[in-house]
Amino acid sequence: MVEDEVVDSLMRIGLSDKESRAYVTILRNGATTIRVVSEEADISKSYAYDIVGKLEERNLIEIDDHVQPTQLRAIPPAEGIDNLVSQLQTVESQLEDLFDSESYEQQKFSIIKSRRTILAQLNKLIDAAESELVLALPASVLPRVEDSLREARSRGVFCMLLVTEYDGTSSIDDATASIIQTWSAPAPVTLTVDRSDGIIASADAILNSNSDEYAIYHAEEHIVSSLFDSFIANYWPMGEQVHVGSKSQLPATFTSFRHAVFDATLHLMDGAVVTAEMDIRPTQSNAAFETTTGTIVAVKQSLVRPFSNDFPTQESFVVETPDDTFTVGGSKAFLEDFEARRVVFRSVSDAKQG
């Protein structure tokens, strides 16, 4: 291998151009001096002192300054490279500690151009749902995803379904969603799953196999959140509620705050007292989550009719404890007093009035 190729290889593992050339000079000469390194590596003598110091720090060379002139000796290459690898592994471990792998996995974006691929991706995401999904699509396409929706519900996934372009004639299986609404008008095809993945497309992209329209897939949390916000603010209120599922059997643990809001709403509508154990922390803080138990006395939501929200995307509890009354929202809540990571309904006692 020629010298320039060696220099290039050394630069790829972290040495600078001057460090690489100085190191090659020392290797080639065995025991050598600063003057020789300066001349053969074409660097100033003062800079050469700095360079050889860095090479010594990397455990690539040894400096013997007990003799005059100072002698520079290369550590055997195999040992020197082992030293470099060890240093890189240490850095790798430190970087892994800093690296947000979950965030990295979510930095995804793709354009889906064919109707068949869009339908396949819809089913794939529905099949992967673990806690919640929200879906709006035309009535004529619903049969293409019904099996996946039923399977999701059987896994306990909270599902909101808006069937658009609905003419009132086709039947909709109640087993496909926790809440089903219909709307006669067209709307964008929208799917969000577990607040982490989403698809948005024009209706034509999924209705017409010859359409030039396409779907966009996102796996960035803030974009998926925006897709849901648009859905719940602009399209969900236009629907007619045709099915509301039953409450979860207790005790029930919710990692989807939206699902917990749905269940609490149904319990309160029945006049029941809802006791909840929640892992909460103050909103907009990095404080540790703490477990508290309280009674949910009110819910702000626009999932189930009649809506009780004060603004389109509001989903929150009003909680009473013996000492306080406060509001709780879901992940990244900012208007409520606390955000919740986990909610457990442990006991519900009937307290119907009248």
pLDDT tens across 109-138, in order?
788 888 999 999 999 999 999 999 999 999
- Rounded CA-CA distance 109/284 in Å is 28
Own/partner long-range contacts of 8-13 (Cβ < 8 Å, ≥24 apart): 13/84, 13/88
Determine the Cα angle at 119 with ends 121 and 200, to 5°. Answer: 70
Count of CB atoms situated within 10 Å of the CB of 120: 13
Arithmetic mean of pLDDT, 253-257? 92
pLDDT digits (tens, 9 = 90+) for 204-223: 999 988 888 889 998 888 88
On average, the pLDDT of the chain sits at 88
Better-scored residue on pLDDT, 301 or 196: 301
As beta bridge partners, residue 343 has 254, 278
> For position 2, what pLDDT does the model report?
67
Lowest mean pLDDT among 155-164, 208-217, 336-345: 208-217
Q: Going along 71-157, which residue ranges are E strands?
A: 71-74, 109-112, 132-138
The SS3 of residue 351 is coil
Tell me how far apart the 2 most distant CA atoms of the chain are, in Å.
Answer: 103
As beta bridge partners, residue 300 has 316
Name the pLDDT band for 352 (thresholds 50, 70, 90). very low
The SS3 of residue 300 is strand
Which domains, ranges and CATH numbers included, belong to the chain? 3-98 (1.10.10.10), 104-244 (3.30.870.10), 252-350 (2.30.30.690)
Better-scored residue on pLDDT, 31 or 91: 31
Q: What are the Cα distances from residue 100, in Å, to 95, 96, 97, 314?
A: 10, 8, 8, 29
